[in-house]
C-alpha cells in the first residue's frame, strides 16, 4: 500500500504520531510540505517565523534525502495539491497531525473531504499537545478557565496515564518511485528577505527584521541539543532564574515547539528522567514542565473559545475605550518609549525574533495599560515579529497581560516598568545589552535615567508618566467592567 505524510507543525522524524501510524500501514510513501498561499499571505517570507520554518524544512528534507526519500515541497491550496499528488502517486492513505487552531481545523476539513472524493483515506492524530482540549475537564465535565486547577487536573491525568515519547518513528520501507526532489523551495517571492547586517546585537536588525545570524537555528538535531543542554545545565536553577532576562536561564525551545522539530512528549519524557537522575534539579524541572502546561492550557482555551482571536475572553472588556495613539505605538515598536526595560525587550524582539517572557509581560502591560492601546495591535505585532509566534500562546499572553483573558492578572495590578527592571534586571545587564546608548549608566540609574539629570544623548525621555497613565488605565478598566452590569 502507498501513502503520503503531510508535514506541517511537526517537522521531525522522532516521536511523530501520525507518521508512525502511517508506517504501520504502508510500505511505500512520500513526505510532502505545502506552502499555502493563504497562510503565506499572513506570514510573508521575510518574517522571522517563515525564515525559521524554511530552515527547519531544509534540514528535514536533507535528513530524508540521506535515507533516499525525496521530500515534495509544493505550493498551492492543500485541498487541491494533495489530492492531485495522491492520484499521481497512487497513494491511498494520507496522514497528518491534527491542526491546533480553528483556522487550521477548517482547512483540514476541506482537505479531508477533497481527499475522500479523490479516493484516498485521511489518517489524522493529535500530536501538538500532550492532552487534547477535551481530555482535561472539571469533575462535572466543564472546561477550566483558570490555569492552576487546570494544571492540577493535567498532572492528575498524566499520573493516571503518562504519555511520554515513543521514539524515532519507523518510516515506511521505501519511497514511491518516480518522484525526484524539486530543486529548490518553491516559494512565491512576495517580499525581500532581511539583509544580513553585522555589528552589535542591538543594531543588527534590518528594516525587515533580524539578521539571519541572530535567528535561532532550526531542525530536529538542534532542538534535541537545546533540550539536553538545558536539562543538564540551566534547568536546576530554572525556578530561581527564569524571570531574569539578563541570564540565559530558559530553554529557548519555543520556536521548536511551535514548528514541532521536537515533540512536547519528548520534552516531558526527557525532563522527568533528568529529574529522577538528578534530585537537585527536580524543583526547577517541575517548574519548567508547568510552563509547558501553560502552553497546553492556552491551546485548550483557544479550542473552546475561538472568539478570543478577535474579542476579549471577558466580554465586558470589549467595551474598553482604547486610545488611538499611532505615535505611541510606533515608539513602543521601535523601543523608544524612554522606559529602558520596555525598550530593551522591544529591541531584543526586533534584533532576534525572540523576547524573554518577563519582558513580554512588561512590554504588553506597558502597551495596554500605560499607553491604553488595544491589545490586538500588540498581539498582531508580536505574531509578526516573533520566531515562536503562536496563535494560542500569543493570544493567551496578551489577554493575560491586558487583564481581558481567562486567567488574567487583575486590572488593578499594573506593572511599573521601572520597578520591574530594578527587580528582574538588578545590575542592568539586559538594558545595557540592548540599549547601547545607556551602556555607561550605573545600575542604580539605568532603569530611570531621567531621574537625577537628563538621560544620555540619543535616548528619549519617557513618552508618558507612569503614575498618570496608571490612573487613566484604572478609570478606563473600571468603566468597562461597570458596563457588565
Q: Which residues bind ligand FAD (CB under 6 A)?
A: 242, 250-254, 257-258, 288, 291-292, 294-295, 298, 357, 360-361, 364, 382, 386, 388-390, 393-394, 396-398, 401
Say which of 29, 354, 375, 434 is annotated catalytic. Answer: 375
Is 422 in the active site? no
Q: In angstroms, what is the minimal distance from the CB of 390 to ligand FAD?
A: 4
Catalytic residue, candidates 29, 96, 154, 294: 294
Closer Cβ to ligand FAD, 385 or 431, answer by number? 385
Nearest Cα residue to 309 out of 408, 394, 400: 394
Helix (H) or strand (E) run with residue 104 in it: helix 102-117
Q: Is residue 139 within 8 Å of residue 240, measured between CB atoms?
A: no
d(CA 358, CA 417): 11
- Comparing CA positions, the residue from 343, 356, 314, 357 lying closest to residue 417 is 343
- The answer to whether 25 and 49 are in contact (CB under 8 A) is no
Could you confirm whether 291 is annotated as catalytic?
A: yes
Minimum Å distance from CB 249 to ligand FAD?
A: 8
Taking the complex as a whole, how short is the minimal distance between the CB of residue 29 and ligand FAD, in angstroms?
30
In the chain, what are the helix, strand and coil shares in percent, each to the nearest 5?
50, 5, 40
CB closer to ligand FAD out of 32 and 303: 303
In the residue annotation, 288 being an active-site residue is answered as: no
Annotated active-site residue in 28, 135, 357, 422: 357
Nearer to ligand FAD, 29 or 238 (CB): 238
Closest CB to ligand FAD among 258 and 445?
Answer: 258
Instruction: Compute the least distance from the CB of residue 285 to ligand FAD, in Å.
Output: 11
With respect to ligand FAD, which residue has the nearer C-beta, 123 or 234?
A: 234
Q: Which is nearer to ligand FAD, 258 or 350 (CB)?
A: 258
Query: Which residues on neighbouring strands pair with residue 33, listed in sequence order?
Result: 73
- Pick 264 or 320: Cβ nearer ligand FAD: 264
What's the Rg (C-alpha) of the chain?
23
Task: Closer to ligand FAD by CB, 253 or 274: give it.
Answer: 253
Cell reading at 238 = 530554572
What sign does the CA torsion over 107, 109, 111, 113 have? Answer: negative
Nearest distance in Å: CB 326, ligand FAD: 21
* Annotated catalytic residue 96: no
| Nearer to ligand FAD (CB atom), residue 381 or residue 470 | 381
Q: How far is the CB of 129 from ligand FAD (least distance, A)?
A: 10
Residue number of the CB closest to ligand FAD reads: 397
CB of 252 to ligand FAD, least distance (A): 4
* DSSP secondary structure of 277-339: H-GGGHHHHHHHHHHHHHHHHHHHHHHH-GGGGTS-SSGGGGG------HHHHHHHHHT-SS-
CB of 283 to ligand FAD, least distance (A): 15
Q: Contacts for 115-122 with beta carbons within 8 Å, 24 or more apart? A: 115/82, 115/83, 115/86, 117/83, 118/83, 118/84, 118/86, 118/87, 119/86, 119/87, 119/92, 120/4, 120/83, 120/86, 120/91, 120/92, 120/93, 120/94, 121/92, 121/93, 121/94, 122/94, 122/95, 122/96
CB of 343 to ligand FAD, least distance (A): 16
- Mapping DSSP onto H, E and C, the string for 174-240 reads EECCCCCCCCCCCCCCCCCCCCCCCCCHHHCCECCECCHHHCCCCCHHHHHHHHHHHHHCHHHHHHH
- Cell triple for 411: 486590572
Please compute, for residue 45, the number of CA atoms within 13 A of its CA located in the half-sphere on the CB side.
13
Residues 176 and 29 sit within 8 Å (Cβ to Cβ): yes
Choose the catalytic residue: 155, 158, 322, 450.
Answer: 322
**Is the distance from CB of 379 to CB of 480 less than 8 angstroms?**
no
Return the C-alpha cell found at 75. 505550493
Cβ atoms of 160 and 326 within 8 Å: the answer is: no
Q: In this structure, what C-alpha cell is assigned to residue 361?
A: 509581560
Catalytic positions, please?
291, 294, 322, 357, 375, 398
Amino acid at each position: 500500500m502507498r501513502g503520503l505524510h503531510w508535514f506541517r507543525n511537526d517537522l521531525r522524524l522522532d516521536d511523530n504520531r501520525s507518521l508512525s501510524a502511517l508506517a504501520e500501514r504502508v510500505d511505500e510513501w512520500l513526505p510532502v510540505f505545502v506552502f499555502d498561499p493563504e497562510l503565506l499571505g499572513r506570514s510573508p517570507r521575510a518574517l522571522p517565523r517563515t525564515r525559521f520554518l524554511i530552515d527547519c524544512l531544509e534540514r528535514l528534507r536533507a535528513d530524508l534525502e540521506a535515507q533516499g526519500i525525496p521530500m515534495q515541497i509544493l505550493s498551492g491550496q492543500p485541498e487541491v495539491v494533495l489530492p492531485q499528488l495522491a492520484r499521481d502517486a497512487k497513494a491511498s492513505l494520507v496522514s497528518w497531525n491534527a491542526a491546533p487552531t480553528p483556522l487550521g481545523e477548517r482547512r483540514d476539513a476541506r482537505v479531508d473531504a477533497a481527499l475522500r472524493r479523490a479516493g484516498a483515506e485521511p489518517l489524522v492524530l493529535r500530536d501538538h499537545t500532550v492532552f487534547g482540549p477535551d481530555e482535561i475537564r472539571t469533575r462535572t465535565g466543564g472546561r477550566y478557565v483558570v490555569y492552576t486547577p487546570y494544571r492540577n487536573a493535567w498532572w492528575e491525568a498524566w499520573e493516571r496515564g503518562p504519555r511520554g515519547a515513543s521514539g524515532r518513528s519507523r518510516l515506511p520501507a521505501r519511497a514511491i518511485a518516480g518522484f525526484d526532489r524539486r530543486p529548490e523551495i518553491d516559494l512565491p517571492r512576495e517580499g525581500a528577505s532581511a539583509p544580513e547586517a553585522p555589528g552589535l546585537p542591538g543594531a543588527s536588525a534590518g528594516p525587515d527584521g533580524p539578521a539571519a545570524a541572530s535567528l535561532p537555528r532550526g531542525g530536529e538535531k538542534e532542538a534535541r541539543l537545546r533540550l539536553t543542554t538545558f536539562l543538564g545545565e540551566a534547568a536546576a536553577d530554572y525556578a530561581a532564574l527564569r524571570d531574569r532576562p539578563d541570564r540565559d536561564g530558559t530553554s529557548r525551545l519555543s520556536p521548536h515547539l511551535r514548528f514541532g522539530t521536537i515533540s512536547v512528549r519528548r520534552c516531558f519524557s526527557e525532563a522527568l528522567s533528568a529529574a529522577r537522575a538528578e534530585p537537585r534539579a527536580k524543583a526547577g524541572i517541575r517548574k519548567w514542565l508547568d510552563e509547558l502546561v501553560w502552553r497546553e492550557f492556552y491551546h485548550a482555551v483557544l479550542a473552546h473559545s475561538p472568539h478570543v482571536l478577535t474579542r476579549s475572553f471577558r466580554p465586558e472588556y470589549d467595551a474598553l475605550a482604547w486610545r488611538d495613539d499611532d505615535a505611541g505605538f510606533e515608539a513602543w515598536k521601535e523601543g523608544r518609549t524612554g522606559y529602558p526595560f520596555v525598550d530593551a525587550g522591544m529591541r531584543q524582539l526586533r534584533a532576534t525574533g525572540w523576547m524573554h517572557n518577563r519582558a513580554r509581560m512588561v512590554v504588553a502591560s506597558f502597551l495596554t495599560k500605560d499607553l491604553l492601546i488595544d491589545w490586538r495591535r500588540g498581539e498582531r505585532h508580536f505574531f509578526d515579529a516573533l520566531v515562536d509566534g503562536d496563535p494560542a500562546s500569543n493570544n493567551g499572553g496578551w489577554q493575560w497581560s491586558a487583564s481581558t483573558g481567562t486567567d488574567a492578572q487583575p486590572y488593578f495590578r499594573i506593572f511599573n516598568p521601572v520597578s520591574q527592571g530594578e527587580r528582574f534586571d538588578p545590575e542592568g545587564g539586559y538594558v545595557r545589552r540592548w540599549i547601547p546608548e545607556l551602556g555607561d549608566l550605573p545600575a542604580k540609574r539605568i532603569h530611570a535615567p531621567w531621574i537625577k539629570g537628563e538621560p544620555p544623548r540619543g535616548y528619549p525621555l519617557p513618552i508618558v508618566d507612569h503614575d498618570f497613565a496608571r490612573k487613566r488605565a484604572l478609570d478606563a478598566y473600571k468603566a468597562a467592567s461597570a458596563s457588565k452590569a
